[in-house]
Structure 1
Amino acid sequence: MSSRNSNPNARIEPYTHAAAGWGAIKQVVISLVKERVPGENYKTLFKQNQRDGFDCPGCAWPDREHASTFEFCENGVKAVAVEATSKRVTPDFFAEHTVTSLLEESDYELEEHGRLTEPMAYDPATDTYKPIAWSAAYELVAQHLKRLASPDEAAFYTSGRASNEAAFLYQLFVRVYGTNNFPDCSNMCHESTSRGLPGTVGVGKATVTLDDMERCDTLFLFGQNPATNHPRMLGELRECARRGVTIVAINPLRERGLERFTNPQSPIEMMTMGSTRIASVFVRPKLGGDQALLKGVAKRVLERDDIALLEGAPRVLDADFIAEHCSGFEAFAEDLRRQPWDELVAESGVAREEIEHLAEIYIRGKAVISTWGMGLTQHKNSVPTIQMLSNLMMMRGNIGRPGAGLLPVRGHSNVQGNRTVGIENQPSKAFLDRLANAFAFEPPRRHGFDVVETIGAMRDGRISVFLALGGNFAMATPDTERTWEGLRNCDLTVHLATKLNRSHLVHGREALILPVLGRTEIDVQDGVAQGVTVEDSVCMVHISYGINKPASEHLRSETAIVAGIAHATLGARPVDWLALSRDYACIRDAIALSVEGFENYNARVSTPGGFHFGVASRERVWETETRKAQFVVSTIESDTPLHRARRKYGEQLMVLMTTRSHDQYNTTVYGLNDRYRGVFGQRRVVFVHREDLKVLGFAAGEWVDLFSVWEDGIERRADRFLLVEYDIPRGCIAAYYPETNPLVPLDSVADVSGTPTSKSVPVLMRRSVALPVPMAA
């Protein structure tokens, strides 16, 4: 590679092996050594996802039995290793490093410093963080909250790794305080799912369990890269492939983990260097083309049913299911018949013959599961895309029967549970009514701000206190420069965290860092070890107990910190916050009173493996306005900002998707390699098709600056990216986040859901003349 790359180990080297296998084992060892994990903490791995252990703090993929000796994956080990690390960020560290100097470090370098050990407060006189007592920290937050003119001048962010207990107590405190300003990580990932599915099947959750994976004969995987984002899913996919399930990968990138997989827990595959073929069909729409692709498949299914009727052959549609369980089909079918094929082909980027072949695979399936990740949810048209997928599945009755259904695959380990227990800026009347009855107070009824709205409100002075229960808000969010402006415009920013990240350095006029226990650590309250509960992607709720000694005697649990702030702000009303935080079973009793579906919570979660949180549509009960599954008509838009940019710039315009490397989880960067894509020792790369390089006058190995094209006249840029030739659809490029988050315009969001369009950003590339940049933003 170019000698101008600042890392001498940086290289581009195609990866020719199957996913996982010995490469994953090697990375497990490297992670444990790099983090200097103490010997006694190695046992942590043998308690991960066990009945008497802790739930993996990584992804939300479910565990079949919570009983396998080695029920963990490479990325799960990385998540555990960075919690179990022996490296520490102490008050001495902060005394030696100004915030200004730390801002010059990369996100990877910040992560490498280790675990936070004591509560810290920002001192503007020295530009450093200094120790503060827990009681003083709580009082500082309370003082700021009490002097606001309105509770709506504060925003309360939530990361997806917070437990049900912490999240419920958090939302209760905030609603008693008086606001629904709950920006959360769901707003940036699966909010399009949460807003789209209720309009079709009545609930924004999975309609399947892992048992259905054993019964399906066809699997559609949309916009996912399991090998990197939820590796344990590959074990299920491997078993499906080995019993002959047709697996179709629908994604612009042909990801290695969906080609071949070597199971590290299979002695035969490991010793023979064998592997299992996963997907047998790859369909590669252009970015933002999934709605048109799905509508094309639905159109062809309808055409095939029309032919069957004419020939007197068996119906292709499940007419009985549609008649008994659905409404709106006639209007939907009429819209499909009017839809021109040429528009579907042009907008999807997939040839008609390929669309029809995909339809035939779907028609042959007797039990079809459709799964998806953020490849479907982060576009302007994401909500109608997900509703079109629901339409397609309803056409053949593939919802609410064994082996078939919808499976949105969530990211962080409890992002779904957080939403279930009340982290929602648009709470339902039913939920608020139950909360009011359980705790004898009137919760606020007006909708609060989501993530994008919160950033705008911070920038214009409508939000002056920002409190984050986990996460890395400064780097996870779009339009980085404007997000930073908003955070710096606050009077107070507060972050509950396990490790140092950039959000602690992009702060308000006053700022607190409050260190928390990790999920792997023993949480003792009043002399009793506490368990916390989480909900996975298939709605299984189970309990988790830490086993490691806390990284510092000064750490407190998220639940205890929330209770401390609530008590300092509200006193003991309408509950005794401190008493609740001393016994998490009492919080679960409160959840049982407040959240439908959690009745007898403590008893049910104590059973091995936990319990399934009921999903009505799984039983073909439809909680929609019509009390039936609803077909939704949607048009293919042809005059979006992306279309207008294309008309203006022609072939010079590229559409960017932001993506993770294999060595990161969300904004946490574990290392600088993305081995399945052949990238080593670096992150500032952009993947481009060979023919696009020719058209643009570039060559692989050159350096470019990226500029987003938006209609507000603001220049958004990300400098110094290495061009890497890659098999990606023409006109599309890919690069890692958070490095490319500065290019996502703040007001470029999915219709209805408000999710940032991080998978369809119109950009231009120009040859770089800048020096290498030292940090992500």
Structure 2
Amino acid sequence: MNPPTPEKGHVAPYTRPAAGWGALKYVAINLIKEKVAAGKCKLLFKQNQADGFDCPGCAWPDRQHASTFEFCENGVKAVAAEATSKRVTPEFFAEHTVTSLMTQTDFELEQHGRLTHPMVYDGTTDKYHPIEWGEAFALIGRHLKTLDDPNQASFYTSGRASNEAAFLYQLFVRAYGTNNFPDCSNMCHEATSRGLPLTVGVGKATVVLDDFEHADTILIFGHNAATNHPRMLGELRECARRGATIVSINPLRERGLERFTSPQHPVEMLTASSTKIASMFVQPKLGGDFALIKGVAKQLLELDDAAVMHGEARLIDIDFVREHTNGYEDFANDLRAESWADIVGESGITREDIHALTEVYAKGKRVIACWGMGLTQHKHSVSTVQLLSNLMMMRGNIGREGAGLLPVRGHSNVQGDRTVGIEERPDAEFLDRLQASFGFEPPREHGYDVVNTISAMLDGKVKMFIGLGGNFSVATPDTPRTSQALRQCELTVNIATKLNRSHLVHGKESLILPTLGRTEIDLQNGVAQGVTVEDSVCMVHISYGMNEPASPHLLSETAIVARMAAATLGSEKIDWLWYAQDYSRIRDAIEKVLDGFDNYNERVSIPGGFHLTPASRKRVWKTASGKAEFLVNPIDKESPIRRAREKYGDKLMVMMTMRSHDQYNTTIYGLDDRYRGVFGLRRVVFINAADLARLGFTAGQRVDITSVWGDAVERHVEDFLLVEYDIPQGCLGAYYPETNPLVPLESTGDGCGTPTSKSVPVLLRLSTVQPPAAA
């Protein structure tokens, strides 16, 4: 690996509220940095309007889809990245070898701008050269047709892909003969998708945005709204101002959930005032959420037992439990038998603080539980999500106004892609409907997810990789091994808007296929096409790009998929190009295959679209028993973290990977993380002051980080700055993708296969190079 690029920056406490004038300042900086033309800046004010385009960033829903501009700093960054005037042309590639580009940081690669032409890699020159679209599709078709088995190819999907592109993509791949669909869900909310169906029957949110108007208590687990979903803070602000109790349950005490100045409210902006968001902060240690939630459930049960004994009103919604659930008695017996010592020890939270959190939950009449990847990227993430669901069921907080479950999805259509078939484990009913509608026998064997795809590449079982968006080599764990896996492929294909590292970590042959962004006009046969997405609360809506394409040589994702399919399979059975000529035809096909999409084209034309209502919202439970299920899961006393601690003692630390404020997923927009007080730096590691003293370090020193796992693979990163921070003892935080090399490929969540990026056992040691002493 190349030595780290020296960083120049500083650390300074951030004491102001989130957003406000600081957010507007950084918006201006990004528009200037991206060299966005004035005319395109005006279009930012239409990004959430019915006649405009949706933000291509996060999946947080719009309060009113036809409203005026709803400000979001990170949304502007995403839009500006697409609207940039900077271009990556054939001339750019002629000047740079792949080897030379590999020395640049992810931030530097992002800053080169939009891709303009399809490119093919030439190993003799170590450069990408232009290729005609027809030749590119013919190359893909030849490779796919010469594989010995369709399962030797794997097809990745980013959450940026629209419903139309994703549905056509899965149709193509299944007609080709495989269910190898690694996608970004595998790395984020897969625990939700696998865990919730076993408790409430469906792996989606049971709330809509209007429920926030009626909730009196909101529990936010493992989620930093100010960075990951800034528009959520506007919703939380309104809840806080009307008196709702908001609790942040997260190892880091994030500034955005302390105080927030809304750019939408002139009084706050002009008076430099702010709104207090969370009234309670609970900071479990990494991996401690399961024990914490179990502690709250146990305390709630004990309070309910006391209420019964004294003839008082019960805290358990016994009517809901009796009518709608199964397995409660076994669950209650497990809670009674659980040791308080184990709960406190594993959660890192005192019994007194668990009791205080339980009191808040017990007083709430309408409670919403939200969670992000702080809950889903652990070994026990599935059981944690199920336990949270069970806790909500204890008080009937599912399927009624102002209450429910809300997994806060990441990318703008990560939920929709799964809904329309991007799924390596498809159910039989979906496959039967595909067969009936399109006249071919879809493969029934489950395919590879992300981790299994990488392993199969390393074993030589997967020889071809196609990525519909994303940055696979950087988003995934065990970076050197992932890079090795991709380089062993016969062909890698990346469909993208901008240059990223995955284009440089290529197979023996490689293609870069430039595509339209969602903010750009998509003309097919002279008619502008709209695309649909599904947000975190299951609202499906349509949007149309309004910017001129960055290059006349770009094709839409849908057109690229159709032409790959035609080049590989021909058009005798399915007329791929016919579907790509008019996206309403794809929506008609989705309507035939999937429940809930009746009159798809008509309903999506209404501003705001329609709600794809999960059955559990109506208290209909699509489980084997026909009821919501209380599931029993023990506290794991033989976890990899425990085993590592037995070997390394107090030297062992547990690290989580996370985003800085100037990034979205793997896209690095800038080098600041201002709410955490970090400026111009990315190789930092956040650590508790007591751990600094205990380990013999001081803030400002540089350390190397080594992860410990039970194999012979060395996982090591160098030259990280120690930053003292409010984080539980024994825990560390650091940014990805810089620390993804420390996440073992084999360390995954039970039952979901998600990399355990929030609980990595590591050791620290001083780097050989230290910063100069202060004068």
- TM-score of the pair, normalised by structure 2: 0.98
Q: How far 1:281 moved relative to its partner?
A: 0.2
- The answer to whether the 8 Å contact 1:318/1:395 transfers is yes
CA pair 218-124 structure 1, distance change in 2 beyond 3 A: same
Partner secondary structure for residue 418 of structure 1: helix
Q: Does 1:193 find its partner at 2:189? A: no
Q: Does 1:643 find its partner at 2:642? A: yes
User: Which structure 2 residues correspond to residues 115-264 of structure 1 after superposition, within 5 A?
Assistant: 115-264=114-263
- Counterpart residue number, 2:602: 603
Q: Does 1:455 find its partner at 2:454? A: yes
Determine the C-alpha separation between the residues in 2 that align with 1:713 and 1:732: 24
- Counterpart residue number, 1:775: none
- Counterpart residue number, 2:473: 474
- Counterpart residue number, 2:496: 497
Q: Unaligned regions of 5+ residues in structure 1, if any?
A: 773-777
Q: How far 1:695 moved relative to its partner?
A: 1.0
- Counterpart residue number, 1:271: 270
User: Which structure 2 residues correspond to residues 14-53 of structure 1 after superposition, within 5 A?
Assistant: 14-53=13-52
- Counterpart residue number, 1:280: 279
- The answer to whether the 8 Å contact 1:70/1:265 transfers is no
- The answer to whether the 8 Å contact 1:399/1:618 transfers is yes
- The answer to whether the 8 Å contact 2:377/2:749 transfers is yes
Determine the C-alpha separation between the residues in 2 that align with 1:9 and 1:740: 19
- Counterpart residue number, 2:91: 92
Code of the residue aligned with 1:504 in structure 2: it is H
- Counterpart residue number, 2:75: 76
- Counterpart residue number, 1:327: 326
- Counterpart residue number, 2:536: 537
Q: How far 1:44 moved relative to its partner?
A: 1.7
Q: How far 1:66 moved relative to its partner?
A: 1.4
Determine the C-alpha separation between the residues in 1 that align with 2:385 and 2:703: 34
Q: How far 1:68 moved relative to its partner?
A: 2.7
CA pair 5-451 structure 1, distance change in 2 beyond 3 A: closer
Code of the residue aligned with 1:334 in structure 2: it is N
User: Which structure 2 residues correspond to residues 702-741 of structure 1 after superposition, within 5 A?
Assistant: 702-741=701-740
Determine the C-alpha separation between the residues in 1 that align with 2:579 and 2:366: 45
Determine the C-alpha separation between the residues in 2 that align with 1:747 and 1:364: 42
Q: How far 1:38 moved relative to its partner?
A: 1.1
Determine the C-alpha separation between the residues in 2 that align with 1:27 and 1:416: 29
CA pair 8-613 structure 1, distance change in 2 beyond 3 A: closer
Code of the residue aligned with 1:162 in structure 2: it is A
Code of the residue aligned with 2:32 in structure 1: it is V
- Counterpart residue number, 1:633: 632
Per-residue CA deviations over 1:700-738 (Å, capped at 9, x if unaligned) read: 111100000100121100111000111100000000000
Q: How far 1:8 moved relative to its partner?
A: 7.3
Determine the C-alpha separation between the residues in 2 that align with 1:726 and 1:359: 27
Determine the C-alpha separation between the residues in 1 that align with 2:614 and 2:604: 17
Figure out how many residues of one structure are paired with residues of the other and give that number.
769
Partner secondary structure for residue 291 of structure 1: helix
Per-residue CA deviations over 1:630-649 (Å, capped at 9, x if unaligned) read: 00000000111110001111
- Counterpart residue number, 2:363: 364
Q: How far 1:55 moved relative to its partner?
A: 1.1
Code of the residue aligned with 2:558 in structure 1: it is T
Determine the C-alpha separation between the residues in 2 that align with 1:401 and 1:319: 15
Q: How far 1:72 moved relative to its partner?
A: 3.0
Per-residue CA deviations over 1:177-229 (Å, capped at 9, x if unaligned) read: 00000000000000000000000000000000001000000000000000000
Partner secondary structure for residue 286 of structure 2: coil
CA pair 528-107 structure 1, distance change in 2 beyond 3 A: same
Q: How far 1:574 moved relative to its partner?
A: 2.7
Determine the C-alpha separation between the residues in 1 that align with 2:81 and 2:268: 29
User: Which structure 2 residues correspond to residues 668-679 of structure 1 after superposition, within 5 A?
Assistant: 668-679=667-678
- The answer to whether the 8 Å contact 1:242/1:276 transfers is yes
Code of the residue aligned with 1:467 in structure 2: it is I
Determine the C-alpha separation between the residues in 2 that align with 1:312 and 1:361: 21
- Counterpart residue number, 2:396: 397
- Counterpart residue number, 1:591: 590
Q: Percent identity?
A: 69
Q: How far 1:771 moved relative to its partner?
A: 8.9
Partner secondary structure for residue 704 of structure 1: strand
Determine the C-alpha separation between the residues in 2 that align with 1:751 and 1:509: 34
- The answer to whether the 8 Å contact 1:7/1:681 transfers is no
Q: How far 1:43 moved relative to its partner?
A: 1.9
- Counterpart residue number, 2:753: 754
Determine the C-alpha separation between the residues in 2 that align with 1:160 and 1:72: 22
Determine the C-alpha separation between the residues in 2 that align with 1:239 and 1:668: 30
Determine the C-alpha separation between the residues in 1 that align with 2:593 and 2:48: 28
Q: How far 1:307 moved relative to its partner?
A: 0.7
Partner secondary structure for residue 230 of structure 2: coil
Q: How far 1:39 moved relative to its partner?
A: 1.5
Determine the C-alpha separation between the residues in 2 that align with 1:138 and 1:49: 35
Q: How far 1:5 moved relative to its partner?
A: 10
CA pair 599-370 structure 1, distance change in 2 beyond 3 A: same
Q: How far 1:9 moved relative to its partner?
A: 4.8
Per-residue CA deviations over 1:729-749 (Å, capped at 9, x if unaligned) read: 000000000000000000000
- Counterpart residue number, 2:654: 655
- Counterpart residue number, 2:486: 487
Q: Unaligned regions of 5+ residues in structure 2, if any?
A: none
User: Which structure 2 residues correspond to residues 513-524 of structure 1 after superposition, within 5 A?
Assistant: 513-524=512-523
- The answer to whether the 8 Å contact 2:301/2:316 transfers is yes
Q: Does 1:106 find its partner at 2:105? A: yes
Partner secondary structure for residue 232 of structure 1: helix
CA pair 488-307 structure 1, distance change in 2 beyond 3 A: same
Determine the C-alpha separation between the residues in 2 that align with 1:453 and 1:737: 21
Per-residue CA deviations over 1:107-144 (Å, capped at 9, x if unaligned) read: 00000000000000000010000000000000000000
Determine the C-alpha separation between the residues in 1 that align with 2:287 and 2:113: 39
- The answer to whether the 8 Å contact 1:49/1:72 transfers is no
CA pair 623-498 structure 1, distance change in 2 beyond 3 A: same
Determine the C-alpha separation between the residues in 2 that align with 1:627 and 1:398: 18
Determine the C-alpha separation between the residues in 2 that align with 1:206 and 1:302: 26
Code of the residue aligned with 1:472 in structure 2: it is N
- The answer to whether the 8 Å contact 2:48/2:68 transfers is no
- Counterpart residue number, 1:343: 342
Partner secondary structure for residue 543 of structure 1: strand
Q: How far 1:444 moved relative to its partner?
A: 0.3
Determine the C-alpha separation between the residues in 2 that align with 1:770 and 1:282: 37
Per-residue CA deviations over 1:211-258 (Å, capped at 9, x if unaligned) read: 100000000000000000000000000000000000000000000000
Determine the C-alpha separation between the residues in 1 that align with 2:728 and 2:7: 31
Determine the C-alpha separation between the residues in 1 that align with 2:430 and 2:260: 43
Code of the residue aligned with 2:94 in structure 1: it is A
User: Which structure 2 residues correspond to residues 413-428 of structure 1 after superposition, within 5 A?
Assistant: 413-428=412-427
Q: Does 1:507 find its partner at 2:506? A: yes
- Counterpart residue number, 2:763: 764
Determine the C-alpha separation between the residues in 1 that align with 2:510 and 2:341: 55
- Counterpart residue number, 1:388: 387
- The answer to whether the 8 Å contact 2:117/2:553 transfers is yes
Code of the residue aligned with 1:45 in structure 2: it is L
Q: How far 1:67 moved relative to its partner?
A: 2.5
Code of the residue aligned with 1:269 in structure 2: it is E
Determine the C-alpha separation between the residues in 2 that align with 1:90 and 1:770: 39
Determine the C-alpha separation between the residues in 1 that align with 2:257 and 2:399: 27
